Amino acid sequence: MERERLQSLAMEYALGTLEGSEREELTDLIEIRDPAALEALAQARETVAAVGLSAPDAAPGPEVKQALLARIEREETQTVFSPAPRRPGWREALAWALAAGMLVFALVSRRQVKDLRIVTEQLNTRQEALIAQRDGLLETSDRFDRILEILSAPETRAVSLDGDLRPRVHAYWNESLGLVLAGADLPVPAQDRTLQLWIVPKQGAPVSVDVFRPDDAGAALLVAQSATPISAAAALAISDEPAGGSEQPTTTPVWVGPVS
Amino acid sequence: MLPYGQIAPSDMLLALAIPAPASPFGSDSPGSDSQLLARIADDRDPQALEALYDRYARPVYSVLLRVTNDRHAADELQQDVFLKLWRNAQAFDRTRATALPWLLTLARNTALDRVRTKAERQRRREFGDDETSTALQSAQHGSARNDEAWLDRRRLAEQAAQALKELPDGQRRAVELAYFEGLSQTEIAERLDAPLGTVKSWVRKALLRLRDDLGGAS
């Protein structure tokens, strides 16, 4: 491709306005990591990013930075210590206050102390449940952030997996970010069975990606990572396997989708 | 076409693996950004992130506020952008001179993702220009910054603003609508009541001219 045209397409791509066959033409070059296309894209991103500098100068308040650093500290703490340690909060303060109160009540009534101890234990139990709930929500949030990243990346490949008399399953595969598999109204396998996603390479045996089970409503959302390059894959397939999965498919795949 | 296929926060992951070309952003003192990013990636050093935040908080925030027109959203997204930097610092190509283009791309895409919801769009239509100007004015803190790096960025920002200003009106508006509102060329054509072919020509010419004008900015 002529250099000037390549640069022009790359800048439109970076701006987000490149469409249709021209977009496909450029993404094909990016996918095969054509050096000229990658260099043009890098330059284009810097040119387009400079447009952002034309925005009116504005500064965040100091509280934004403080909140950011607090989030990072919290994230690091959770990374180093898993599960997340309990952090002092108003519930814990309340528990301590109640504990202190118990000492006072001990002078008055042993019965009252006993009652307060029960209340304290209930509060602690409730606190632990809330912490677990919060950790679960954070995990879900991170998972959906990753899905959004995969779905929104331009180099992500969409693959439709078809099967006889069954709903279609959709996969979105990004070589560097991972693979998202989504389906609805899927048949739920028996308790001792599971569904298993495979990459069928152009040469060689199928490679297992992950096992999954649709929920009771038949919905499935799998996020997985694969080391297999997209260019080496001929198809994605899903088979019904014994619980825990198999090293190689033991049944005929229920869904198959070519990776074009 | 994939959802949000044209704007990809993760585009940066690909871009980061590309050798650094001549940059309109110029070059920082040797390795400064890359050293800080290495400290984040390798040592999980929050002080390194703080240093990058101090260096680039304003341009990033300016883009967030310009795109969202919402100070509260910009505050929240500012944290998200730098949190993504914290989580993905290892993906940055350390041979590149500066992290600013990466951060601005990330800021723009993060902000566009936010305003793409119907409710956000509706709210922006209702409160539109008044809130924009109020939010922008209230955010333009007059803190007296005169360090060299900041002045360099302001100089480049002024050049970028001037380069945009010098574009013919149609070209300038088309680029601004694409960059700050994430509109497709079809949407731009509808917004500006211009033929699609004309809009395509505007965008292409504008980008080439910006490249030529800003390429020598360093």
Judging by DSSP bridges, how do beta strands A157-161 and A233-242 pair with one another?
unpaired
Q: Show which of A116, A149, A182 is a domain's final residue.
A: A149
Q: How many domains does chain A have?
A: 3
Establish, for the pair of chains A and B, how many residue pairs have beta carbons separated by less than 8 Å: 224
Q: Show which of B122, B143, B164 is a domain's final residue.
A: B143
Q: Among residues B109, B119, B113, which one has the least CA distance to residue B11? A: B109
Range from A100-109, A220-229, B76-85, B206-215 carrying the lowest mean pLDDT: A100-109
The reply to whether A115 touches chain B by the CB within 8 Å rule is: no
> What band does A107 get if pLDDT is binned at 50, 70 and 90?
low
Tell me whether residues A41 and B214 touch, CB distance under 8 A: no
Place of tokens 């679960």: A136
More confident residue, B11 or A194: A194
Q: Is the pLDDT of residue B12 over 70?
A: no
Secondary structure letter of residue B9 according to DSSP:
T
Residues ≥6 apart with Cβ < 8 Å to B75 = A60, A61, A63, A64, A67
Q: Is residue A111 part of a domain?
A: yes
Of chain B, the percentage scoring pLDDT greater than 90 comes to 31
Considering the domain architecture, whether residues A131 and A167 belong to the same structural domain is answered as: no
Q: Is residue A171 part of a domain?
A: yes
Q: Determine whether B185 is exposed, middle or buried from the number of CB atoms within 10 Å of its CB (0-12, 13-18, 19+).
A: buried
Considering the domain architecture, whether residues B162 and B139 belong to the same structural domain is answered as: no
Q: Among residues B28, B165, B25, B50, which one has the least CA distance to residue B104? A: B25
3-state secondary structure chain A: CCHHHHHHHHHHHHHCCCCHHHHHHHHHHHHCCCHHHHHHHHHHHHHHHHHHCCCCCCCCCHHHHHHHHHHHHHHHHHHHCCCCCCCCCHHHHHHHHHHHHHHHHHHHCHHHHHHHHHHHHHHHHHHHHHHHHHHHHHHHHHHHHHHHHHHHCCCCEEEEEECCCCCCEEEEEECCCEEEEEECCCCCCCCCEEEEEEEEECCCCCEEEEEECCCCCCCEEEEECCCCCHHHEEEEEEEEEECCCCCCCCCCCCEEEECC
Considering the domain architecture, whether residues B91 and B160 belong to the same structural domain is answered as: no
Considering the domain architecture, whether residues A198 and A235 belong to the same structural domain is answered as: yes
CATH assignment of the domain containing B47: 1.10.1740.10
Which chain B residues are closer than 8 Å to A8 by Cβ? 204, 207-208
Shortest CA gap B35–chain A (Å) = 19
Q: Is residue A57 part of a domain?
A: no
Q: Which of B11, B62, B188 is opposite residue A55, by nearest beta carbon?
A: B62
Which secondary structure element, helix H or strand E, spans residue B78, and what is its range?
Answer: helix B71-88
Q: Among residues A209, A201, A203, which one has the least CA distance to residue A238? A: A209
Q: Is residue A145 part of a domain?
A: yes
Q: Is the pLDDT of residue A250 over 90?
A: yes
Considering the domain architecture, whether residues A144 and A188 belong to the same structural domain is answered as: no
> What band does B16 get if pLDDT is binned at 50, 70 and 90?
very low
Q: Show which of A133, A149, A165 is a domain's final residue.
A: A149
Q: Is the pLDDT of residue B177 over 90?
A: yes
Q: Which of A15, A156, A174 is opposite residue B207, by nearest beta carbon?
A: A15
Name the percent of chain B in helix, strand, coil, to the closest 5: 70, 0, 30
Tell me whether residues A72 and B46 touch, CB distance under 8 A: yes
- Report the pLDDT averaged over residues A109-121: 76
Q: Among residues B168, B12, B147, which one has the least CA distance to residue B92? A: B12
> What band does B121 get if pLDDT is binned at 50, 70 and 90?
low
Give this prediction's pTM. Answer: 0.53
Sign of CA dihedral A225, A218, A151, A80: negative
Considering the domain architecture, whether residues A23 and A66 belong to the same structural domain is answered as: no
Tell me whether residues A58 and B65 touch, CB distance under 8 A: yes
> What band does A125 get if pLDDT is binned at 50, 70 and 90?
confident
Q: Among residues A167, A176, A113, which one has the least CA distance to residue A146? A: A176
What residues are paired with A162 via a beta bridge?
Answer: A256
Q: Among residues B18, B117, B115, B118, which one has the least CA distance to residue B70? A: B115
Considering the domain architecture, whether residues A136 and A181 belong to the same structural domain is answered as: no
The mean predicted confidence, pLDDT, of chain A is: 84
Q: What pLDDT was estimated at residue B124? A: 54
Q: Show which of B111, B143, B175 is a domain's final residue.
A: B143
Domain that holds residue A137: 62-149
Q: What pLDDT was estimated at residue B43? A: 87
State both tokens at B128: 């539109």
Crossing angle between the packed helical segments B169-181 and B46-68, to the nearest 10 degrees: 130
Q: Is the pLDDT of residue B183 over 50?
A: yes
Q: Which of B15, B58, B179 is opposite residue A45, by nearest beta carbon?
A: B15
Q: What pLDDT was estimated at residue B149? A: 61
Tell me whether residues B8 and A154 touch, CB distance under 8 A: yes
Shortest CA gap B12–chain A (Å) = 9
Considering the domain architecture, whether residues A166 and A242 belong to the same structural domain is answered as: yes
Q: Is the pLDDT of residue B30 over 50?
A: no
Which chain B residues are closer than 8 Å to A60 by Cβ? 57-58, 61, 74-75, 78, 139
Considering the domain architecture, whether residues B11 and B102 belong to the same structural domain is answered as: yes
Considering the domain architecture, whether residues A140 and A163 belong to the same structural domain is answered as: no
Interface of B with A in 92-121 (CB under 8 A): 100-101, 104-105, 107-109, 113
Considering the domain architecture, whether residues B90 and B163 belong to the same structural domain is answered as: no
Q: What pLDDT was estimated at residue A65? A: 93
Cβ contact A44:A10 at 8 Å: yes
Q: What pLDDT was estimated at residue A1? A: 66
Distance separating alpha carbons of residues A16 and B7, to the nearest angstrom: 6
Shortest CA gap A53–chain B (Å) = 5
Judging by DSSP bridges, how do beta strands A157-161 and A193-201 pair with one another?
unpaired
Interface of A with B in 5-64 (CB under 8 A): 7-8, 11-12, 14-19, 30, 38-39, 41-61, 63-64
Which chain B residues are closer than 8 Å to A176 by Cβ? 10, 13-14
Q: pLDDT of A211-226, one tens digit each?
A: 999 988 888 999 988 8
Q: Which of B4, B78, B207 is opposite residue A47, by nearest beta carbon?
A: B207
Considering the domain architecture, whether residues A121 and A79 belong to the same structural domain is answered as: yes
Q: Show which of A149, A178, A199 is a domain's final residue.
A: A149
The reply to whether A231 touches chain B by the CB within 8 Å rule is: no
Distance separating alpha carbons of residues B9 and B27, to the nearest angstrom: 24
Shortest CA gap A134–chain B (Å) = 18
Considering the domain architecture, whether residues B130 and B176 belong to the same structural domain is answered as: no
Considering the domain architecture, whether residues A168 and A249 belong to the same structural domain is answered as: yes
Considering the domain architecture, whether residues A177 and A200 belong to the same structural domain is answered as: yes
Place of tokens 């993060």: B110
What residues are paired with A239 via a beta bridge?
Answer: A196
The reply to whether B19 touches chain A by the CB within 8 Å rule is: yes
Q: How many domains does chain B have?
A: 2
Show contacts of B184-191: CB within 8 Å, 24+ apart: B184/A16, B184/A17, B184/A19, B184/B6, B185/A17, B185/A19, B188/A17
CATH assignment of the domain containing B155: 1.10.10.10
Considering the domain architecture, whether residues B81 and B95 belong to the same structural domain is answered as: yes
Considering the domain architecture, whether residues B126 and B54 belong to the same structural domain is answered as: yes
State both tokens at B90: 């290892």
Considering the domain architecture, whether residues B104 and B167 belong to the same structural domain is answered as: no
Give the other-Cβ count within 10 Å of B137's Cβ.
Answer: 10
Residue type (1 letter), B16: L
Distance separating alpha carbons of residues A102 and A125, to the nearest angstrom: 18
Q: Is the pLDDT of residue A51 over 70?
A: yes
CA-nearest residue of chain A to B97? A46
Considering the domain architecture, whether residues A163 and A201 belong to the same structural domain is answered as: yes
User: By three-state DSSP, how is residue B116 classified?
Assistant: coil
Give the other-Cβ count within 10 Å of B163's Cβ.
Answer: 23
Domain that holds residue B35: 1-143
Q: What pLDDT was estimated at residue B18? A: 35
Which chain B residues are closer than 8 Å to A68 by Cβ? 53, 78-79, 82-83
Considering the domain architecture, whether residues B190 and B114 belong to the same structural domain is answered as: no
Considering the domain architecture, whether residues A199 and A139 belong to the same structural domain is answered as: no
Considering the domain architecture, whether residues B112 and B197 belong to the same structural domain is answered as: no
Q: What pLDDT was estimated at residue B93? A: 67
Q: What pLDDT was estimated at residue A43? A: 82
The reply to whether A156 touches chain B by the CB within 8 Å rule is: yes
Q: Show which of B126, B143, B160 is a domain's final residue.
A: B143
Considering the domain architecture, whether residues B175 and B202 belong to the same structural domain is answered as: yes
Q: Is residue A190 part of a domain?
A: yes
Tell me whether residues A152 and B9 touch, CB distance under 8 A: yes
Chosen from A34, A51, A66, A77 to mutate, greatest number of chain B CBs within 10 A: A51
Q: pLDDT of A175-224, one tens digit each?
A: 888 999 999 888 889 889 999 999 999 999 999 999 999 988 888 999 98
